[in-house]
């Protein structure tokens, strides 16, 4: 199995349950790990035989642009799109961190981690 990863992709987005969060926005960090068995010989040196992390980044960018109340929803949408683009993906983990969430005390970030494993 091979894994590709994006770590610490940073976005300013408007996700949040409270209307103020959807108006003022917040910074987010996104990590994505995709485990897969190549659908062919990697020695062919062909991008179609692997998961293209540039395409994964584009998927994340597009999903982060759509405001949602729950970052869980954003994470699941990212996973669903990666599964569709790369049906040979065996596992996908998406972590979304909301930096300085609006809480009553100082918190570096809140986070959701969503995992997918092909059955």
pLDDT value, residue 44: 87
**Contact between 94 and 81 (Cβ < 8 Å):** no
pTM comes to: 0.93
DSSP three-state, residue 3:
strand
Active site residues: 98
Please report, in tens digits, the pLDDT of each residue of the chain (119 residues total): 999 999 999 999 999 898 888 899 999 999 999 999 998 888 888 888 899 999 999 999 999 999 999 999 999 999 999 999 999 999 999 999 999 887 889 999 999 999 999 98
**Contact between 6 and 32 (Cβ < 8 Å):** yes
**Contact between 51 and 86 (Cβ < 8 Å):** yes
Domain count, the chain: 1
pLDDT value, residue 119: 86
CATH of the domain at 88: 3.30.1130.10
Query: Cα(23)–Cα(34) distance, rounded to whole angstroms?
Result: 32
pLDDT value, residue 75: 98
């Amino acid at each position: 199995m091979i894994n590709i990863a994006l770590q610490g992709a940073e976005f300013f987005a408007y996700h949040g349950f409270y209307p103020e969060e959807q108006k003022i926005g917040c910074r987010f960090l996104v990590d994505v790990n995709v485990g897969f068995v190549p659908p062919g010989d990697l020695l062919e040196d062909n991008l179609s035989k692997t998961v293209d992390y540039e395409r994964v980044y584009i998927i994340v960018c597009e999903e982060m642009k759509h405001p949602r109340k729950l970052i869980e929803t954003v994470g699941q949408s990212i996973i669903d799109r990666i599964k569709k683009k790369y049906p040979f993906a065996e596992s996908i983990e998406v972590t979304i961190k909301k930096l300085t969430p609006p809480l009553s005390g100082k918190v570096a970030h809140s986070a959701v981690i969503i995992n997918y494993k092909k059955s």
